[in-house]
Structure 1
Amino acid sequence: MPKLKPLREISLRDLLVVVLPLVLLIAGGFYLASRYIQPAPPSRLVISTGGGGGAYQRFAAAYRDVLARYDVELVEHPSNGALENLQRLRDGAQEVDAGFYQGGLDGPQEQDGLTSLGGLYYEPLWIFYRETAFRSEPDRITQLAGKRIAIGGAGSGTQVLARQMLRANGLEEKGATLIEAGGLGLAEQFAAGKIDVAFVVGPTQSATVWTLLYTPGVKPMGLAHAEAYTRQFPSLSRIVLPEGGVDVGRNIPSHDLALVAPMATLLVREDTHPALVDLLMQTAIEVHGGPGVFQKPGDFPKAQAVDFPLSSEAARYYKSGKPLLQRYLPFWAATLIDRMVVMLIPFFALVIPLVKIAPGLYAWRVRSRIYQRYGELKFLEAEVEATPERHSREEWLARLDAIEEYANGLPTPISFSDMLYTLRGHIDLVRAIILKRTVAAAERPGVVES
């Protein structure tokens, strides 16, 4: 009788045949998923700010302190103002990731690749005047005719808006002397009598604005036509500086002043890492979300597109708040896990289903080899029953022994040993049939013993 091959816990061959294709399939899935993993967010962000004494530089300093808590370095590139910031962002050669921008200066151009983080705060247009240059308090821009007017430096948003307002009142080309000047030096020019009026765009946090509000002999001017300007220039909003809003003790200003103000925003490139956009949104809320002269707590930032489309990441942040992982984990840990989430796709799509079907495939492969022997055994039995005289008993038994030898040589795991023993029992049944239905070669007719 053929020797039975020792039983094993598992069949290494069957296991390899089943597992290897699955491993290759899973590896291919993870490889494809890895192609879509976003790179790690950079630890350095370059921002274009503004000139000395402006609010942009002050806010950039606050941004730098907040971002440093998340191990992100903010590199400031001073500029002449919002217009130059926009030009830098549009210039691919400039290594600038973000820049402060004043609404109303321009609009998106084809393939700009720039998006907005929403409205951050109002940037009032301040018109300061030297009291001795006017007989009475002015409240209309037409009353500035014949005066020496500082309109801000070249490349600044102040100059763009100042020219728009003067042009609307017929004073840009003639009727006034326009001087390209701005910044903290305006106070000295007022004191020296070099200018009569100065246009300044910026919040009260601007050092230039704050200095001029407290400069003796210099007053801020209200606009009687403030509402009319908002209709002519949609980027402007009418706001009111209340009496004593700057300094209650000194009653600055001495009465309510109607002003106009564009909205300030932060522009970023479309390819800025989403995690950095989330971080900038958190920073903007911390820096700009408090109370102010022109806002209540929580008024800003707001989900408002300022000339440029709202960033998709910013829109999601306004809707849902801080990303879930960043609420419970440090920034870098959260971004790492967020990047690796894409790897869960092959895990759930391939690994879990394949792990579930792998045991079935393995069992099917082991059973299929045993069932194959059953097929051979069935054919042999049918042949013996139909034509036992076709072969001698020895020939029939030789064929049966071949089936048994192959069955005994199967690498059958212990868990499937019952099937193997059942097969061997059926082989013995067929052997009994052969012994009963056939005759030995020596007994067959026509066979002569020597």
Structure 2
Amino acid sequence: MSGLRDFLKVYWPLVVVALAGVLLALVLMDPAPPKNIRFAAGSPGGAYHAFAERYQRLLAEEGVEVELVETQGSIDNLRLLDDSEADVGLVQGGLATDRDREELRSIGGLFPEPFWVFVRSDFPAESLGDLRAGRIAIGGDGSGTRILALDLQADYGGEWIETTRLTLSGTTAADALLAGEVDAAAFAASVESSYIDRLLVNEDVRLLPFERAPALARRHEALSDIILLRGVVDIGEDIPAADVPLVAPVAQLVVRKDLHPAIEALLIDAATSIHSEGTLLAPAGHYPDPDLIDLPI
């Protein structure tokens, strides 16, 4: 016992330093990553929800359970993320606010979401500006589609009457267009969306081109000008029958800034696996893109 007392008399400073080092390491060490996260997934049937299901499957293979939270779209996703009611979500580019930039981070741009405007084949319109007196579905209040549609209507100028801003969205808007209940419908949506595919091949409607897409992209930082190539939807049926210029924001994967780094790493791996495949609008390997974002990386 006296030997221990003698040891401590001589070496107690070293013992204190060692214990302090251990305690500091325990304090600074990241806690274990969570086994459950919440994914703001959009509405069933939409591209966001379909992609969220793929993330859910991939993270389940790594032992992380992903709860899909149904939402109304990008604006709803941002709100849930800001309020800590979701940990990760898909968000249309160009919608982030100053509050979002404080609380949230982007993992990268994932895929373009063209601004599609489909019109009835018998409706006389060659551009968005020709729809000022029509019946147009431009998405629900607060939706990413509606915000972008209102911005572009302002770009084209003139008087847009109330019926040019109907609140139908998604599959409901597509059904109304095909039934002749509206003259046109606008969507900011992935080419993988089921209702977009249905409209692209339907003879009763046609897709409006944005001939001034480069100018619109120059005016709006969140937009890119892209081309839907002739025949890319259906080579045999030659759909579309000509190149169609479009404008598109880019969807990004957004997380809370306090999300555990291990979960971020799993999401990055999953994003690369899911979105590096080629699409009708982008070659393989183009996405994820860390530059096509409007939140801190």
What is the match of residue 293 of structure 2?
306
Match of 1:123 in 2: 113
CA contact (8 A) 2:128 2:208 kept: no
The structure 1 residue matched to 2:197, chosen from 204, 210, 214, is 210
Report the CA distance shift for 1:23/1:215 in structure 2 as closer, same or farther (over 3 A). same
Question: Is the Cα–Cα contact under 8 Å of residues 108 and 307 in structure 1 kept in the other structure?
Answer: no
Decide which structure has greater strand share: 2
Structure of greater Rg: 1
Q: Percent identity?
A: 36
5 Å matches for 1:179-194?
179-194=166-181
- Residue 57 of structure 2 is aligned to residue 65 of structure 1: yes
Corresponding residue of 2:151: 164
User: SS at the partner of 2:147?
Assistant: helix
Normalised to the residue count of structure 1, the TM-score between the two structures is 0.62
- Tell me which amino acid in the other structure corresponds to 2:256: R
Structure 1 partner of 2:24: 32
Using the size of structure 2 for normalisation, the TM-score is 0.92
C-alpha separation in 1, matches of 2:220 and 2:148: 10
Select the residue among 33, 42, 51 that pairs with 2:43.
Answer: 51
Which residue of structure 1 lines up, in the alignment, with residue 71 of structure 2?
79
Q: Which residue identity lines up with residue 202 of structure 2 in the other structure? A: T
Contact 2:132 2:159 in 1 (8 A): no
Is the 2:39–2:68 Cα contact (8 Å) retained in structure 1? yes
1:301/1:162 CA distance change after superposition, 3 Å: same
Question: What is the alpha-carbon distance in structure 2 between the residues aligned to residue 271 and residue 39 of structure 1?
Answer: 12
Give the SS at the match of 1:120. strand
Instruction: Give the equivalent residue in structure 2 for 1:150.
Output: 137
The amino acid that maps onto 2:146 is: Q
Would the aligned equivalents of 2:174 and 2:185 in 1 still touch at CA under 8 Å? no
Report the counterpart of residue 296 of structure 1 in structure 2: 283
1:100 counterpart (90, 93, 99) = 90
Verify the 8 A CA contact 1:104 1:262 in the aligned structure 2: yes
Q: 1:111: Cα distance to partner?
A: 7.3
| C-alpha distance in 2 between matches for 1:74 and 1:35 | 28
Aligned to 1:354: none
Q: Is residue 16 of structure 1 aligned with residue 7 of structure 2?
A: yes
Tell whether 2:223 aligns with 1:236.
yes
Measured in 1, the distance between the counterparts of 2:19 and 2:28 equals 15
Q: Which amino acid aligns with 1:89?
A: L
Determine the C-alpha separation between the residues in 2 that align with 1:174 and 1:188. Answer: 22
Q: Unaligned 5+ residue runs, structure 2?
A: none
Q: How many residues align?
A: 295
Q: Output one character per residue of 1:108-143: Cα deviation in whole Å (capped at 9) or x when no partner.
A: 338731111121111111111110222xxx442111
Deviation, 1:19, is 6.0
State yes or no: 1:113 paired with 2:100. no
Displacement of 1:230: 0.8
Is the 2:121–2:203 contact (alpha carbons within 8 Å) kept by the matching residues of 1? no
Please list every run of 5 or more consecutive structure 1 residues that lacks an aligned counterpart in the other structure. Answer: 1-10, 311-450
For the aligned residues, what is the CA RMSD? 2.1
Greater share of helix: 1
CA distance in 1, matches of 2:5, 2:56: 61
Tell me by how many angstroms 1:22 deviates.
3.8
Query: How far apart, CA to CA, are the structure 1 residues paired with 2:116 and 2:46?
Result: 13
Cα distance in 2 between the residues matched to 1:112 and 1:245: 40
Matches of 1:48 and 1:235 in 2, distance apart? 21
User: Is the CA contact 2:44–2:50 (under 8 Å) kept in the aligned structure 1?
Assistant: no
> Per the alignment, in what secondary structure is the counterpart of residue 308 of structure 1?
coil
Contact 2:277 2:285 in 1 (8 A): yes
Aligned equivalents of 1:74, 1:234: Cα separation in 2: 32
Instruction: Provide the rounded CA distance (Å) in 2 between the counterparts of 1:155 and 1:52.
Output: 18
